[in-house]
Amino acid sequence: MGCFTFIKVMMILFNLTIFLGGGTLLGVGIWVAVDGDSFLDIFGTLSSSVMQVVHVSYFLIVIGAILLVIGFLGCYGAQKESKCLLMMFFSVVLIIFIAEIAAAVVALVYTGLAETLLSAVLTPLLKEKYGVDNNFTKIWNITMAKVHCCGLSNYTDFNDTRWVEQHGTYPSPCCRTLEPCNATLAAESKVPGCFDQIVEDIKTNAGVVGGVAAGIAALEIASMSVAMYLYCRLDQK
């Protein structure tokens, strides 16, 4: 088996795996969107909170569709030795690679801006719905308990909420004591906001996050290199 044939076969197998993975994610996403109750029965109540926070069905559908397109272009393009499909595969992966780099730069440089924008959007929503909408309140309680945080920025995000007006206390995660959480105890506890805590957790696990990101980037670069190699070799056949 020559070098060209070996690389072609590996390209087909690699992208076939991506295609099947994308089809699986797309199928799960459609399942969640159409029959969310069955999904909740299998994966439990925590999945309900996750679904409502990130709209996981739409996320899975989008990611699955993208992987399907990438896998199809790479697999079929290599199998048929189509220069057009190989170039399309290269272009799609390149666009995703550039988008990932841009997102990483924005995340590093504009973390403060992201917090400001999130505060401008989520803080009014928190004040409006916390203690009024049971599902919204439950989601925030689970998030704060799991992440060990309070509000988006700090306990003051709950000022003027229906919860504080009715109960006279702040959510229990906002205090580090077992006593009813009032403004004084919340201020003394200095529990970090959820945004700051999540950023801190990411920094703490920077090695793992960086390793995963580097691995994905390496796979993308390798895929683009192989696609371009096959593309160029087709001119010589």
- For residue 41, pLDDT over 60 is answered with no
- For residue 223, pLDDT over 60 is answered with yes
User: In the prediction, which pLDDT does 63 show?
Assistant: 85
Q: What percent of the chain has pLDDT over 90?
A: 13
Q: At what angle do helices 194-204 and 206-236 cross, to 10 degrees?
A: 70
Fold of 130-199: Cd81 Antigen, Extracellular Domain; Chain: A (1.10.1450)
- For residue 46, pLDDT over 50 is answered with no
> What are the φ/ψ torsions at residue 58 (nearest 5 degrees)?
-70, -40
User: In the prediction, which pLDDT does 17 show?
Assistant: 87
Ordered by start, the domain boundaries in the chain are 3-108+209-236, 130-199
Model confidence pLDDT, tens digit, residues 103-116: 777 767 766 666 67
Res. 6 pLDDT band, cuts 50 70 90: confident
What the block records as the tokens of 4 is 């060209």
Work out whether the CA dihedral 21, 24, 28, 34 comes out positive or negative.
Answer: positive
- For residue 49, pLDDT over 70 is answered with no
Provide the mean pLDDT of the chain: 81
Higher pLDDT, 1 or 195: 195
CB-count burial class (<10 Å; 0-12, 13-18, 19+) for 226: buried
